[in-house]
A and B are shown apart, each in its own frame.
Chain A
Amino acid sequence: MDAFFFPSSSGARLFGVWRGVSGARRTWIFCPPFAEEEKSARRVFTEIAQRFSARGENSLIFSYRGTGDSEGDFADFGLADWRADILSAIAEAQNRAGATEIALLGLRLGASLAVGARDGAARLVLLEPILSGRSFLSQQNARKKLRAQLSGDQNLPAHDLDGWQLGEKLRDELETLDLRGFGAVSRFAGTSHVLQIGPKSEVAPPLAAFGEAIGAHTHSVVMPAFWNLLDYQKPTPLLEKLEELDD
């Protein structure tokens, strides 16, 4: 495992963790979610990367500009910047791995960003992509409000994401992010899988329609939404599903 920095399109350095395997046939770029979801998902990402290493595949887990150990202030960036960061991560992975198949694995908002940065990839695995930025913002506000009621905290910031200040650019981009409906996304030429993660074994119609639009296989993984949990739970159903998809 190699922890390092690599350049983004603006020159600000991105932090990444590379797991390289000799003779690898495939290289995965992990596209993380944001804020609390990123923290809760981090350990699961590591476990998935370790599984990929064990089956002979490289992986790069990185942090977008303004998040984690990467340079920059969160409020200065937006979705277009972070899509560009995924492309920078792909370029970095290609430099390190040489000619291997590039695959993107994204979670939540990271999955939505991966859809817009997929051109250099042959494979997409999208875990619970955010289809509506407006709904996402509304849910984040709901969570913030409930948490404040429990803690008795009356000083709620108007625009933030779990304490991260939401810049105007990002707010506007989230308000208009909409991957639902006919024509919202184009078909992906490579192999793609969309995974619903939650209590239901039937894939919800909006997610199924999105999967169909990009030409993906859709699956459900029955397990708690690990990106919302405070306590770690081993993501066995997800790991097993990802093994199944290894074709």
Chain B
Amino acid sequence: MELKNRIKKMIVEQLFLPVDPQSIADDADLMETFGVDSVALFTLAIGVEDEFGVSMEDTDLSVELFGSVNAIAAFLTEKGVS
């Protein structure tokens, strides 16, 4: 499955969102669109680690990283996930 589709599936699963993963636009602002708060950001951070097998360093963590599907995809690509 394409990376961005896997990310969308992870977001929907982790946050228990009642939406079709494919309906999430790549550049949609996740905080605005889904009301993502600090708890949800933390949940997404754990989801990224579990789902893609990457370890998030302290320096990696930022609100911007979880701003959109595109932002998460860029981070994962940088970590060598394809």
Contact = CB atoms under 8 A, between A and B. Distances in A.
Interface of A: 139, 141-143, 145-147, 149-151, 199-200, 204, 223-225, 228-230
Nearest to B64: A149
Interface of B: 13-14, 16, 37-39, 41-43, 45-47, 50, 56, 58, 61-63
Given A146-B45, A147-B42, A150-B37, 6 more contacts: A143-B42, A146-B63, A150-B41, A199-B14, A225-B43, A228-B42
Contacts of A139: 42, 46
A147 B46 CA distance: 15
Contact of A146 (B13, B16, B41, B47): B41
A142 B42 contact: yes
A169 B48 CA distance: 31
Nearest to A231: B39
17 contacts: A139-B42, A142-B56, A142-B61, A145-B58, A145-B61, A146-B61, A147-B42, A150-B37, A150-B38, A150-B63, A151-B38, A204-B50, A224-B16, A225-B43, A228-B39, A228-B43, A230-B39
B46 A146 contact: no
Contacts of B47: 199
A86 to B, nearest CB: 27
A146 B42 contact: yes
B36 to A, nearest CB: 10
Nearest to A36: B39
Contact of B38 (A146, A200, A223): A146
A129 B82 CA distance: 32
A230 B43 CA distance: 13
Nearest to A148: B38
A223 B62 CA distance: 26
A224 B58 CA distance: 25
Contacts of A150: 37-38, 41, 63
B62 A199 contact: no
B40 to A, nearest CB: 9
A141 B58 contact: yes
Contact of A142 (B14, B45, B50): B45
Contacts of A141: 58
Contacts of A142: 42, 45, 56, 58, 61
Contact of B13 (A199, A228, A230): A199
A229 B39 contact: yes
Contact of A230 (B14, B37, B45, B61): B37
Contacts of A146: 38, 41-42, 45, 61, 63
A139 B58 CA distance: 10
Contacts of A147: 38, 42
Contacts of B62: 149
B70 to A, nearest CB: 19
A90 B23 CA distance: 51
Contacts of B39: 228-230
A142 B46 CA distance: 9
Among A141, A199, A223, A230, chain B packs the most CB atoms within 10 A around the CB of A199
